Amino acid sequence: MSREHDLAHTALRAARSGSGLPLDVVDPRDWVALDHGVREHLMWEELPTAWLHAGEPAPNDAAFAIALCHPSGHVRETALRHPGAAALLPLVVLRCADWAGPVREQARKVLDEALPTASPETVALGTAVALRAAGRRHGGHARALLAETVRDPALIDALLASPDRDARRFGHRAAIEQDHLSPTRLARIAATDRDAVVQDLCADAALARVQDAGILRPLLDSRSPRVRAAGVTALKRTGDTDEAARFLADRSGLVRACARWALRQHGIDPLPLHRAACTAPEILPGAPAGLGESGTRADAALLWPLLDHPRAAVRARTVAALRTLGTGKQERLVPLLDDPSASVVREATSALEPVAVRLLPEEWLYERLADDRPRHVRVSAFRLLVAHRPEARLRCLRRLVDDPDPKLRVRALTALAAHGPLPEAAPENTPEAARAEPVALPEQAVEPPVAPRTTRLRRLFGTSR
């Protein structure tokens, strides 16, 4: 059953038994689910609303909530006119977007009267609900009203502490507009917050207020590449070129590009610094990557010795840099297919795929496809065989149809299903092992491995693909 169904029926049982609301009252998703569930799943139930028509107080919050979500617009409007309606502010906010005009107008009146005396936490919860209802046809009014209300520092602090992601974003935007946060605190939030949107908001606001380099320190030390890139970009304004040069070997390509830009704005060529970073006593993985992004083919001489570096990350970035520079000596990368690091083998495989036919014998690759080989070696052999001659490709795919590795098996089946017409005969220079048996598509490859629901839909509409 759906969450809406469960909440609606649990609320109905609570209303009849006199217990409390069966939901997480601080989670806006539960309020929206309850509202939808009552109208969708309790339409034919006998709902406890006699107290409302008799003008009596609500027996409990669950009964009041069901009245505010009732399928009948007359009941919803009557419930909003009850003196206790403001106590369930999240449902009042939802009624502000009601399809029925009288219900909508009464809810807006209740919300306008309730907001000045509501607690900051209640306003924060109402804002979170309003943001979820903002996409409805009449959902903009409550959001606009709450945006006007959220100007008090206490309300902004409540939004900043909200567990709801959208409410926190809304609160940070309001805090920035009201200058509620200092540049130092903005930089600290940008560096530590887990929400990428909040990171960008606070980083941009902090940079707009930068007056000294000390404010940038939290940004430059952030784990997020985007935040570090924003801090490095601001170094152009402060003129700290030494600090910008330190990020030429950053692990993120975006940060490295921003560091090069900041240096060029001060008339400094970053290429000699990239070269020096590749010959330093302690080489970071970003050093060969940076040289590959800005160097020339002649710089490959600085990179070849790094293929023997003890750090796997340095070796992997070096292979990627050599591939970017296009050195033309791919045969020197073949030994790296036996590297113990999967990342190094992966980069070497990408560099050797275009020249697999010329450099790598088919039988040697088939040996590496054996079940007792490490998985990253088998994946490498699969990729290189797929990039090889058509006959070698088909033989490899047929061999992996029943492979114990599920990912390789699915990749082989998918490739077989998408394969074009088969060649009539193998060329004379094809190895004997590849011509030993005829190439045929297995039954598993007649239809690609897709979700059962997709398969049923294809059969229903008479389509094969």
Domains in the chain, number: 2
Confidence label for 421 from pLDDT (cuts 50, 70 and 90): low
In a domain, 117, yes or no: yes
Does residue 253 fall inside a structural domain?
no
Q: What is the mean pLDDT of residues 262-289?
A: 95
pLDDT band at 457 (very low <50, low <70, confident <90, very high): very low
Q: Is there a domain that residue 267 lies in? A: no
Residue 240 lies in a domain: no
Boundary of a domain, candidates 159, 179, 199: 179
User: Is 463 part of any domain?
Assistant: yes
41 assigned to some structural domain: yes
pLDDT at 211: 65
Burial of 58 (0-12, 13-18, 19+ CB in 10 A): buried
Residues 36-54: pLDDT tens digits?
999 999 988 889 888 888 8
Final residue before a domain boundary, out of 128, 153, 179: 179
Long-range contacts of 50-59, Cβ-Cβ distance < 8 Å, separation of 24 or more: 52/78, 52/79, 52/82, 53/78, 57/84, 58/82, 58/84, 59/15, 59/18
Q: For residue 159, what are the domain limits?
A: 1-179
Quick check: 329 pLDDT over 50?
Answer: yes
For 279-307, what is each residue's pLDDT tens digit? 999 999 999 999 999 999 999 999 999 99
154 in any annotated domain: yes
The one-letter amino acid code at 14 reads A
Least Cα distance to 97 among 125, 126, 122 occurs for 126
Q: Of 48-52, 273-277, 370-374, which one has max mean pLDDT?
A: 273-277
Q: Which of 127, 155, 179 is a domain's end point?
A: 179
Number of H helices, E strands in the chain: 29, 0
Residue 101 lies in a domain: yes
